[in-house]
Structure 1
């Protein structure tokens, strides 16, 4: 495996970076479906549907088909909602990567490059909660290049940038299905400091949990 190098984003990589982000986020759809399926009210609805149809039809075929149809329908709805979230991100800060991350103070966008092929990305910008913090965003590594330490190297690049620029901390948000990412951030030194359910109807409905992490930048000795 060739060595990777981390460098600043170039405009010619616009489509590749957006596609890498889209594919990376799309991988979470099965995990989101399993998370929703584990919710008590979902299990209750499926169980009641099965029992009611079984009692009324006196056959296993109808309730099995009905539950299977509900599961398939739910999978399509969740996939559609997730794709809408991805599209929102693409139309937000990833719509104009250079303007958002390469032309403003406290912002930057990096790529991990292996033989002129982009295999990872990460970005940083000032946090909305404090002008002394940076927020890490758009971390993504191609599936076939994971386990090589690329995500950790990208995280450390962000930390070094924050230290050079005089910020006191780097923060980030993770979703309940990003368990591997959470373990990676913790191994780098990020500490979990708050966890909450997204304060929307659908957030509470499916227990859509967001975990926030923070890395304290220690002053130079």
Structure 2
């Protein structure tokens, strides 16, 4: 998968150099908002992308700008709900926010998820990530209950129309 948005490249994660750069983006954004990096907990999946995403039927994408990773977005199947996935690790560095990239990334993730026959998308986030909360709420995600990640205090679900 390789797509373009303005002068950004959105592509599949590759083992060669992406693991460290993707982890640095996520760590940086978490720190910016006063949230902890948890390499042995909530962020273990970023260090083990093959196991958590690729081996389970999920996808992990990176956003590249001028040969540097500036964002991430991913999903994998989950047991919660019916034919469900969880969108995870959707982070953008501050210098690339406000360009519509987050909304575009969310829509592309949703399109990929729907094309694989999934019917529900779950997202956990933290209230302090105000831009993310606004993005999800403005794009049809409904607040619900059952947060499973310690640093998150909000959970959303979106129901996709079954394919006919």
**Alpha carbons 2:71, 2:91 under 8 Å: kept:** yes
- Give the match for residue 132 of structure 2: 181
- Give the match for residue 46 of structure 2: 94
**Alpha carbons 2:56, 2:77 under 8 Å: kept:** no
Structure holding more strand per residue: 2
Alpha-carbon shift at residue 92 of structure 1 (Å): 1.7
Separation in structure 2 between the aligned mates of residue 87 and residue 104 of structure 1, nearest angstrom: 20
TM-score, normalising length from structure 2? 0.83
CA deviations over 1:155-182 (Å, ceiling 9, x no partner): 1122111111101111101112122210
- Give the match for residue 213 of structure 1: 156
**Alpha carbons 1:135, 1:170 under 8 Å: kept:** yes
Alpha-carbon shift at residue 138 of structure 1 (Å): 0.6
User: Max radius of gyration: which structure?
Assistant: 1
Give ranges in structure 1 of 5+ residues lacking alignment.
30-81
Separation in structure 1 between the aligned mates of residue 123 and residue 59 of structure 2, nearest angstrom: 15
CA deviations over 1:116-171 (Å, ceiling 9, x no partner): 22111011011232351100111110111100111112211221111111011111
- Among 47, 50, 61, the residue aligned to 1:110: 61
Separation in structure 1 between the aligned mates of residue 65 and residue 132 of structure 2, nearest angstrom: 21
TM-score, normalising length from structure 1? 0.64
* Compared CA separation, residues 215 and 91, structure 1 to 2 (3 A): closer
**Alpha carbons 1:25, 1:86 under 8 Å: kept:** no
Give ranges in structure 2 of 5+ residues lacking alignment.
1-5
- Give the match for residue 73 of structure 1: none
Separation in structure 2 between the aligned mates of residue 158 and residue 91 of structure 1, nearest angstrom: 20
Structure holding more helix per residue: 1
* Compared CA separation, residues 7 and 148, structure 1 to 2 (3 A): same
